[in-house]
Amino acid sequence: MQSYLQMRRIRQSVTEICSDSEKNIASQLPSQHASSNSSTSSSPPPLETGAGILSCASRLEKESADDSADDVFIVGWDGPDDPSNPRNFSLTIKLGTTLIVAMIAFVVGAASATDSAVLKQSSEEFHVSEVVGSLSTGAYLIGYAFGAVLAAPFSETLGRNLIYGSTMFLFMCFIMGSALAPNIGGQIVLRFFSGFFGSTPLVCAGGSIADLWDQMDKTYAFPLYGVTGFGGPVMGPVIVSYIGPELNTWRWAEWMNLFMATLALIIILAFMPETFGPLILKWKAKDIRKVTGDSRYKAELEVTHKKFSTRMKVALTRPFVMATEPIIILMALYMTVIYIILFTFLDGFTYIFDNVYHIGQGLTNVCFLGLFIGMLLPSILIYPVYKITAKDLVKVQAEGRRDLDPEVRLWFGMMGGSVSIPVALLWMGWTDYASISIWSPLIASALFGYGVLCIFITVYMYVIDSYEIYAASALTLVTFMRYCVAGGMTVAGIPFYKNMGPHWTLTILACISSLLVPLPYVFYFWGKKIRAFSKHAAVKV
């Protein structure tokens, strides 16, 4: 709906200006044009900000009568304040769109964890062990990994809005199939495809936020997305906490996922605008061609557009070509370790809380609220980090540069984010005794949630700013690695906790995560030198 209204507004704007016979034609002539037959350039010049074209058809044709018929006029924004530019949307629309993207991430994230909350009931119905039953969660996460590889090129061809809406619909279809699955094999396959089509926000959300917010505003916009989006896997068990023990069925957990997805799809269709700038300019160019009858007006996306097969080849290969990048590998490793811990908690909370404190299946699922409350705590860091970022921007501009150094994005990780993870795991593991209040491991879980979100914000924002045009490929690799490994470890979680016990399991996880504590500090002090040796990272000069 919102995309349709955007298209109508653009068409109306083009028509109004082209019908104004009193316009100064000279001031409306394209500020950029390039002949496809030119000996000095084989392709149109890159689009410049403010190079908008809104021209009167017949007069412009007369003015350009001497031009080559093969000239291409690049259509751009109508100056820095063009209302069609997503960066110029009102604050209300930008915040609302960001929250819609976060809601999508929340819904598909919650679905990744709901099966674990009713694992006992599904295993009993299918007459399989809980280890086999946990394959449904693992398959969903592996589906996430493979779907994420394809999501970015589709969104950069068809636009964000269409991809969010269509994949949400397909996600709903497979979730419904999972709710009706007659056997464990069918459930695992259907959950894989649910994850495959639910993976869109994993790589597209960063692009959507970049479409809307400038580099300063992302300092608070991305954490807003992170709190809501990353909270999905944590809140999934809470949402369906008592469905298993009270209704004695696992299927209503899937129906709950379908209900949330249906609400999300309605909101996407009714309220979500298109934010992908190149696609909006393509709409604009199409309207100008229609009004003027001049086929030389093209959007940059149309002029530089590659075949979809070529884009897919790049999308499928570039992320793995970038596997030699130390920044990507280390950040992917960090996120992978965190996801191993987080998703083994889906099985491990039974051993940490229910087996020790005998609180029951439903209340054990409610204990995930501790993690979510902890994820809200990084919100208190937004203002001080924003002030630090603003100060850094002033320094950068004084040096004659325009863009912030990516290292300023590491502050969330350095402000206790990295340290809190191993501390929280040790605290939780060694106070997990019946003789010690249950509030102790619960508070520790909140501290873990704080650290998880801080690192999530740090990794995503640092990778996006470090790799700029290659950010989608970089995030694809980070996403692929962490979900593939987390999917496998989800199945291994039950034997791990059962054989090692929660004390030593959490100790081992704490020791592994402690090795990564220095990472944000290392990149803060030496990140620029590391990027200088990179083939793909951007070096701000």
Of the residues 259, 285, 303, the one at which a domain ends: 303
Assign 272 a pLDDT band (cuts: 50, 70, 90): very high
Same domain, 354 and 297: no
Please tell me the distance from the alpha carbon of residue 415 to that of residue 338, in angstroms, as a whole number.
17
Assign 284 a pLDDT band (cuts: 50, 70, 90): confident
- Give the range among 45-54, 143-152, 384-393, 490-499 with minimum mean pLDDT: 45-54
Instruction: Examine the pLDDT at 47 and tell me if it is beyond 80.
Output: no
Query: What number is the average pLDDT over the span 496-501?
Result: 90
Same domain, 460 and 432: yes
Beta bridge partners of 298: 74
pLDDT more than 90, % of the chain: 46
pLDDT in tens, 343-387: 889 889 999 999 999 999 999 999 999 999 999 999 999 999 999
CB 320 within 8 A of CB 300: no
Same domain, 264 and 291: no
Same domain, 62 and 125: no
Assign 100 a pLDDT band (cuts: 50, 70, 90): very high
Query: What number is the average pLDDT over the span 90-94?
Result: 92
pLDDT in tens, 51-75: 344 433 333 333 333 444 457 788 8
Instruction: Examine the pLDDT at 33 and tell me if it is beyond 60.
Output: no
pLDDT at position 24, please? 46
Whole-angstrom CA distances from 3 to 11, 73, 85, 292 are: 12, 25, 13, 23
Same domain, 453 and 527: yes
Same domain, 101 and 32: no
User: Is residue 539, in this structure, part of any structural domain at all?
Assistant: no
Query: What number is the average pLDDT over the span 127-149?
Result: 91
pLDDT more than 70, % of the chain: 87
Same domain, 257 and 399: yes
Query: What number is the average pLDDT over the span 254-270?
Result: 95
Query: What number is the average pLDDT over the span 27-45?
Result: 40
Please tell me the distance from the alpha carbon of residue 513 to that of residue 316, in angstroms, as a whole number.
30
Rounded to a whole number of angstroms, the distance between the first and last alpha carbons of the chain is 43
User: Is residue 91, in this structure, part of any structural domain at all?
Assistant: yes
Q: How many domains does the chain have?
A: 2
- Give the range among 81-85, 288-292, 299-303 with minimum mean pLDDT: 299-303
* CATH code of residue 254: 1.20.1250.20
Instruction: Examine the pLDDT at 49 and tell me if it is beyond 50.
Output: no
Q: Domain of 57?
A: 2-83+276-303
pLDDT in tens, 300-325: 777 765 666 776 777 677 777 777 88
pLDDT at position 14, please? 75
| b/e map 511-522, b = 16+ CB within 10 Å | eebbebbebbee
Please tell me the distance from the alpha carbon of residue 201 to that of residue 208, in angstroms, as a whole number.
9
pLDDT at position 292, please? 80
Give the mean pLDDT of the chain.
Answer: 83
Assign 32 a pLDDT band (cuts: 50, 70, 90): very low
User: Is residue 541, in this structure, part of any structural domain at all?
Assistant: no
Please tell me the distance from the alpha carbon of residue 197 to that of residue 170, in angstroms, as a whole number.
6
User: Residue 291 phi/psi, 5° resolution?
Assistant: -75, -40
Tokens of 41: 């350039």
User: Is residue 540, in this structure, part of any structural domain at all?
Assistant: no
Whole-angstrom CA distances from 324 to 187, 255, 327, 465, 522 are: 37, 42, 9, 18, 18
Same domain, 431 and 514: yes
Same domain, 479 and 520: yes
User: Is residue 269, in this structure, part of any structural domain at all?
Assistant: yes
Residue 403 corresponds to which amino acid?
Answer: D
Instruction: Examine the pLDDT at 48 and tell me if it is beyond 80.
Output: no
pLDDT at position 475, please? 83
Instruction: Examine the pLDDT at 25 and tell me if it is beyond 60.
Output: no
The order of strands in the sheet holding 71-75 is 33-35, 71-75, 297-299
CB 114 within 8 A of CB 236: yes
- Write the DSSP symbol of residue 274: P
pLDDT at position 68, please? 43
User: Is residue 537, in this structure, part of any structural domain at all?
Assistant: no
Report DSSP letters for 439-474, one per residue: HHHHHHHHHHHHHHHHHHHHHHHHHHHHHGGGHHHH
User: Is residue 410, in this structure, part of any structural domain at all?
Assistant: yes
pLDDT at position 40, please? 38
Same domain, 187 and 294: no
Same domain, 112 and 65: no
Of the residues 303, 319, 342, the one at which a domain ends: 303
Assign 17 a pLDDT band (cuts: 50, 70, 90): low
pLDDT at position 201, please? 87
Query: What number is the average pLDDT over the span 220-246?
Result: 90
Assign 77 a pLDDT band (cuts: 50, 70, 90): confident
User: Is residue 33, in this structure, part of any structural domain at all?
Assistant: yes
Same domain, 438 and 510: yes
pLDDT at position 528, please? 86
Query: What number is the average pLDDT over the span 428-443?
Result: 94
Please tell me the distance from the alpha carbon of residue 465 to that of residue 462, in angstroms, as a whole number.
5
Please tell me the distance from the alpha carbon of residue 475 to that of residue 207, in angstroms, as a whole number.
11
